[in-house]
Amino acid sequence: MVAAARSTRLTGRAAVLAVVICAIALSLAYPVREYIAQRQQVDQLLAQQQTLSAQVQALQQQDTKLTQTWYIEQQARAQLHMCFPDEQCYEVISGQPPRSPASSKQAGSDPWYDKLLQSVKHADAKPGKRHSQST
């Protein structure tokens, strides 16, 4: 009889211990998952904060530049081709037109009202032909 009782490897205590360990593991699974998700969110927010602080610093530097009169004068000369009244300014023009993507887009595109008029004409042309044929 003793040999028959020992043949089973799983005793009552081992079964209870296995159930308790499973219960503990299951009860800890959700909080651990939430902790990991929150840590990822915190890391994401820290990275976003660093990016935003770098942008703020760049904007502060730009603001500092824009308050300097020498920078404003430099930009007016370079971009707007302006000069002081007592100065004589020269601009060297080459034989080729300047290459700027903004001017090429504007030169090649029609104004919005021309596009609207063309679309109205196109829409009126098809039904008008059918209508004139049926009358």
pLDDT tens figures, 32-89: 999 999 999 999 999 999 999 999 999 999 999 999 999 998 988 888 888 888 888 8
78 lies in some domain: yes
Residue 96: predicted pLDDT: 76
Domain limits for position 30: 12-87
**Whole-number pLDDT of residue 19:** 92
pLDDT (0 to 100) of residue 90: 83
Segment 19-29 mean pLDDT: 91
Separation CA 97–CA 4 (nearest Å): 102
Domain count across the chain: 1
For 100-125, write each residue's pLDDT tens digit.
Answer: 655 555 555 778 888 888 888 888 77
For the stretch 44-82, what's the b/e string if a residue is b when 16 or more beta carbons lie within 10 angstroms of its beta carbon?
eeeeeeeeeeeeeeeeeeeeeeeeeeeeeeeeeeeeeee
- Looking at residue 87, its pLDDT comes to 87
Structural domain contains residue 118: no
Q: Determine, yes or no, domain membership for 92.
A: no
Q: Quick check: is 58 in a domain? A: yes
Does residue 6 sit in helix, strand or coil?
helix
Judge whether 5 lies within some domain: no
* Residue 59 backbone dihedrals phi, psi, to 5 degrees: -70, -35
Does residue 24 lie within any of the structural domains? Answer: yes
pTM value is: 0.44
Asked if the structure places residue 111 within a domain, the reply is no
Within a domain: residue 95? no
Q: What is the average per-residue pLDDT within 15-28?
A: 91
